[in-house]
């Protein structure tokens, strides 16, 4: 076998584990993991701050595979970095009740941050995760105590950028200056029906610039260039970042690379064999070289250290800011203040009729002072939906503001609320008129 350096070995392991699992299931998407393995590897190996042995650790970076059809990429990364996904789980890809369904399903115990598959949703859910990060950091961080400080990373595909919901969410994220977002877009110029020449010829980078994003370009096979772009994106605090990464779907497959054929069906026994030869991967099915496992499992050690350092910080925080620390624990445990239900206004038929939106507004305002985790707004209908928390300022303009002006962006609002709820600390709400769902 050709001598490969450790990076090549790890990347090819991800590629071939993904292609083998899809072949065994006789169903799935090998092309995206094969093309995107290098950028995903750089991100997970060099940047992602997570603890595989405690995937719930609150201050972890979030990773969203918005292109959920490429699920085998995520499962390979989770397995290799020591999360609760085994090689047997990978061999069970797409089987009934397996941990590795065709598209990732929310399972924080396994490190899966959100369900994805409907294109554009992961992108937009990530925007909600960034809103949560900003709100929580404004609530809890004090000088010398960055209790909340994490990035929201994501991998996107052409479909993610074409879906309308991501345009709404991108516009909102740019407006709100959600600088913690760092998305890598797999610009492979292929979708199911063929070349993007058929459907998608705009200058997406310029579009994101116009939304107020920080836009960079990188070659999907130049690991240094990808790493540098992520470093730059981390430095950018006031704009969300997108890195337009030129990739090749099905990289390594001699006859299917750069074709739509490799998007959504197994390579086939013959092409799988040729791909192994082409990548100098004359190894058995589901082969994970021990060196690769050892190298990538260093995430277990670094993950423990990340969390340990954060816990030490939190210990000092408890002493210095005991009330805030108590609030943190309550929010993290999902505890509501004792007797909160007594705060609810009572409505009686004898008081006359009241519109539900008006009753809703009274309830929200009665609870707001006691539930700092309550945050939300409306898609430009606050005066009508009564979503405004009257004593509070606007999210994004004043520190600690909690009235979110979603703008006329109902789809983004819905997805962003999911992202906020996934913090498992906040209780988001959003208002519009149900009839618009028609």
Ligand X SMILES: Cc1ncc(C[n+]2csc(CCOP(=O)(O)OP(=O)(O)O)c2C)c(N)n1
Q: Which residue in 18, 114, 167, 188 binds ligand X (CB under 6 A)? A: 188
Strands 190-191 and 194-195: what pairing? antiparallel
Q: Which is nearer to ligand X, 103 or 402 (CB)?
A: 103
- Nearest residue to the partner ligand X, using Cβ: 159
CA dihedral 95, 97, 102, 106 (to 10 degrees): -160
* Segment 363 to 422, residues that bind ligand X, using CB under 6 A: none
- Of the candidate spans 93-101, 116-124, 211-219, 412-420, the one that interacts with ligand X by CB under 6 A turns out to be 116-124
**Residue partners of 103: CB distance under 8 A and separation at least 6:** 68, 69, 71, 115, 116, 117
Task: Report the C-alpha gap between 82 and 84 in whole angstroms.
Answer: 7
Question: Considering only residues 189-228, where is the footprint of ligand X by CB under 6 A?
Answer: 190-192
Query: Could you tell which of ligand X, Mg ion, none binds residue 134, using a CB distance below 5 to 8 A set by kind?
Result: none
Query: Which residue, among 238, 248, 218, 239, has the nearest Cα to 230 in the 3D structure?
Result: 218
With contacts defined by CB under 6 A, name the span among 158-166, 171-179, 295-303, 331-339 that binds ligand X.
158-166
> Among residues 128, 159, 396, 431, which is the contact residue for ligand X, using CB under 6 A?
159
Number of residues that bind ligand X (CB under 6 A): 18
Shortest spacing between CB 250 and ligand X, in angstroms: 9
Whole-angstrom distance between the N-terminal and C-terminal Cα of the chain? 58
**Cβ proximity of 26 and 266 under 8 Å:** yes
290-324 burial string, b = 16+ CB within 10 Å, else e?
Answer: eebbebbeebeeebeebbeebeeebeebeeebeeb
Among 28, 30, 31, 419, binds ligand X (CB under 6 A): 31
165 binds, among Mg ion, ligand X, none (CB under 5 to 8 A by kind): none
Nearer to Mg ion by C-beta: 27 or 199? Answer: 199
Residue 415 CA to its chain's centroid (Å): 12
Please give the structure tokens belonging to residue 387.
Answer: 């979503």
Q: How far is the CB of 229 from ligand X (least distance, A)?
A: 20
Decide: is 67 part of the binding site for ligand X (CB under 6 A): yes
Binding mask 254-293 for ligand X (x = CB under 6 A): ---------x------------------------------
| Residue 235 beta carbon to ligand X: minimum distance, rounded to whole angstroms | 29
Q: Which does 146 bind (CB under 5 to 8 A by kind): ligand X, Mg ion, none?
A: none
Shortest distance (Å) from residue 113 CB to ligand X:
18
Residues forming the site for Mg ion (CB under 5 A): 157-158, 188, 190
Q: Which is nearer to ligand X, 29 or 60 (CB)?
A: 29
Whichever of 83 and 248 has its CB closer to ligand X, that residue is 248
Among 9, 72, 119, 230, binds ligand X (CB under 6 A): 119
In the complex, the smallest distance separating the C-beta of residue 200 from Mg ion, rounded to whole angstroms, is: 9
Minimum Å gap between C-beta 199 and Mg ion is 11
DSSP 66-102: SSGGGHHHHHHHHHHTTSS--HHHHHTTT-TT-SS-S
Phi/psi at 403 (5° precision): -95, 110
Which of Mg ion, ligand X, none sits in contact with 263, Cβ below 5 to 8 A by type? Answer: ligand X
Nearest to 125 by CA among 412, 376, 332, 377: 412
Give the nearer residue to ligand X in terms of CB position, either 70 or 179: 70
Residue 21 or 190 having the CB closest to Mg ion: 190
DSSP for 206-274, please give it.
HHHHHTT-EEEEEETT-HHHHHHHHHHHHH--SS-EEEEEE--TTTT-TTTTTSGGGTSS---HHHHHH
Q: How would you classify residue 286: left for phi > 0, otherwise alpha for psi between -120 and 50, otherwise beta?
A: left
Comparing CB distances to ligand X, the nearer of 52 and 122 is: 122
Pick what 90 binds: Mg ion, ligand X, none; C-beta below 5 to 8 Å, kind-dependent.
none
* 410 is known as an active-site residue: yes
Residue 78: phi, psi to the nearest 5? -65, -45
69 lies in the site for ligand X, by CB under 6 A: yes
**Beta carbon nearer to Mg ion, 50 or 248:** 248
Q: Are 272 and 19 within 8 A, CB to CB?
A: yes
CA 5 to chain centre: 30
Helix (H) or strand (E) holding 378: strand 374-378
Burial call 52-78: b when 16+ CB within 10 Å, e when fewer? beebebbbbbbbbbbbbbbbbbbbbbb
Q: How far apart are CB 177 and ligand X at their closest, in Å? A: 27
Applying CB under 6 A, among 117, 212, 289, 407 the residue interacting with ligand X is 117
We find the least distance from the C-beta atom of residue 69 to ligand X, in angstroms, to be 5
Active site residues: 410
Which residues contribute to the site for ligand X (CB under 6 A)? Answer: 31-32, 67, 69-70, 117-119, 157-159, 163, 188, 190-192, 249, 263
């Amino acid at each position: 076998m050709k001598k490969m350096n450790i990076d090549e070995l790890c990347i090819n392991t991800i590629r071939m584990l993904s292609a083998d699992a899809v072949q065994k299931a006789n169903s799935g998407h090998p092309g995206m993991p094969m093309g995107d393995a290098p950028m995903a590897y750089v991100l997970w190996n060099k940047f992602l701050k997570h603890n595989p042995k405690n995937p719930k650790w609150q201050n972890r970076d979030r990773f969203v595979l918005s292109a959920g059809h490429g699920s085998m990429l995520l499962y390979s990364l989770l397995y290799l970095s020591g999360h609760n996904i085994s090689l047997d789980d990978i061999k069970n890809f797409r089987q009934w009740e397996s941990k590795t369904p065709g598209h990732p399903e929310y399972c924080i115990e396994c490190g899966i941050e959100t369900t994805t598959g409907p294109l554009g949703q992961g992108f937009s859910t990530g925007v909600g995760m960034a809103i949560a990060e900003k709100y929580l950091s404004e609530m809890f961080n004090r000088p010398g105590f960055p209790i909340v400080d994490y990035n929201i990373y994501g991998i996107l595909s052409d479909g993610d950028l074409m879906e309308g919901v991501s345009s709404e969410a991108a516009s909102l994220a740019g407006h709100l200056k959600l600088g913690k977002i760092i998305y890598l877009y797999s610009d492979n110029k292929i979708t199911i029906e063929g070349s993007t020449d058929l459907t998608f010829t705009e200058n997406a980078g310029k579009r994101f610039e116009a939304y107020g994003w920080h836009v960079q370009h990188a070659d999907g096979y130049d690991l240094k260039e990808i790493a540098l772009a992520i470093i730059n994106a981390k430095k950018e605090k006031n704009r969300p970042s997108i890195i337009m990464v030129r990739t090749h779907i099905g990289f390594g497959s001699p006859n299917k690379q750069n074709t739509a054929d490799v998007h959504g069906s197994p390579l086939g026994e013959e092409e799988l064999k040729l791909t192994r030869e082409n990548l100098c991967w004359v190894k058995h099915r589901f082969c994970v070289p021990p060196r690769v496992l050892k190298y990538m499992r260093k995430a277990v050690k670094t993950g423990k250290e990340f969390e340990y350092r954060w816990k030490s910080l939190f210990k000092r925080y408890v002493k210095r800011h005991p009330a805030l620390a108590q609030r943190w624990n309550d929010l993290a445990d999902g505890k509501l203040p004792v007797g909160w239900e007594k705060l609810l206004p009572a409505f009686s038929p004898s008081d006359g009729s009241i519109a539900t939106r008006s009753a809703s507004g009274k309830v929200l305002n009665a609870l707001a002072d006691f539930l700092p985790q309550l945050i939300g707004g409306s898609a430009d209908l606050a005066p009508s939906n009564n979503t405004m928390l009257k004593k509070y300022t606007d999210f994004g303009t004043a520190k600690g503001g909690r009235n979110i002006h979603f703008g006329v962006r109902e789809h983004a609002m819905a997805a962003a609320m999911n992202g906020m709820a996934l913090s498992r600390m906040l209780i988001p709400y959003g208002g519009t008129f149900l009839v618009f769902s028609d």
